[in-house]
Amino acid sequence: MGEIILLPFNVSRDRGRERLNRYLRPNLLIKLLSLILLLAAGTPAWAAPRVKVLKLAVTNPTDEARAHENVVVSVAELKRVAPDFSAGGCVVTTSDAGVLEEDARTLQTTELPSQADDLDGDGKYDEIAFQIALKARQTRVVTIAYGDPATMRRLRSNYPARTHAKFTLKFDGLGWESEATAWRIYFDRRNAIDLWGKRRPGLYLELFGSPEYDYSAESPLGRDIYRIGDALGLGSVGALVSGKVEKVSDVLERSWRIVSQGPVRVIVELKYKGWRSAGAR
């Protein structure tokens, strides 16, 4: 008995393709095209397939190329079409095909690093995130494969980490970063967002937070380049009261959480309770 292993996911056995034509998120121009089941060769028709794939069409509606367009797909929306969809270990691939007919003839595809994120901490994945390159007005078919965990583990590549987050008193709060830039928020009454510039791409929060390291000093890697002073910083929250800015300083409780970090994105969460502003909470 031979097993059909697609490397990488050249979907040629797509008999019975079902066009669902259901939009997931029209504002993102992501269209679900089909659900395809890939059975192990020689197995009975009623046997559970090893791998199933969902086809999406992702479109750039602008006249400008997007080299690293962020795409986020709701797991709940995928489950409406494929109730057994499992986000953990899924594999995302694409080609230059713009429609299903072209995609069926494609002999070579590219695997896109992806991550599944549990946003609310309930132990279930909520979103799948990946990046894709799109030319102006281009549509590309994207394949999301899922199925037997052992099979998917063999097929999925090991993606390098490209984001990171860390909380430490060494830099006074919560930091998060991509390979290009790092940020931190002072986890105290200042509640301002600061910036580290990077001269060389990489993840450096662990280094910046290590004992005796001076992240404000000149370095070939990068350093703290923004003087906050008494300002809100870059994107922090405040209130304008009687013509003056009030920071989120006087609070009864503040908390932080690293929601997700991986090859595509990092998500951090900060919560404040009992903010006193304009003389009232």
Low-confidence ranges of the chain (pLDDT < 50): 1-27, 38-43, 45-47
pLDDT (tens digit, 9 = 90+) per residue, 40-85? 334 454 445 688 999 999 999 999 999 999 999 999 999 998 999 9
Distances (CA, A) of 66 to 59, 61, 154: 11, 10, 31
The pLDDT value recorded for residue 68 is: 92
| pLDDT score at 36 | 58
Tokens of 56: 């999406």
Burial of 266 (0-12, 13-18, 19+ CB in 10 A): buried
pLDDT reported for residue 11: 27
**What domains can be seen in the chain, in order of their start residue?**
18-155 (2.60.40.1180), 163-273 (no CATH)
The reported pLDDT for the residue numbered 222 is: 93
Q: DSSP label at 280? A: B
Predicted TM-score (pTM) of the model is 0.80
Specify the pLDDT at position 182.
Answer: 97
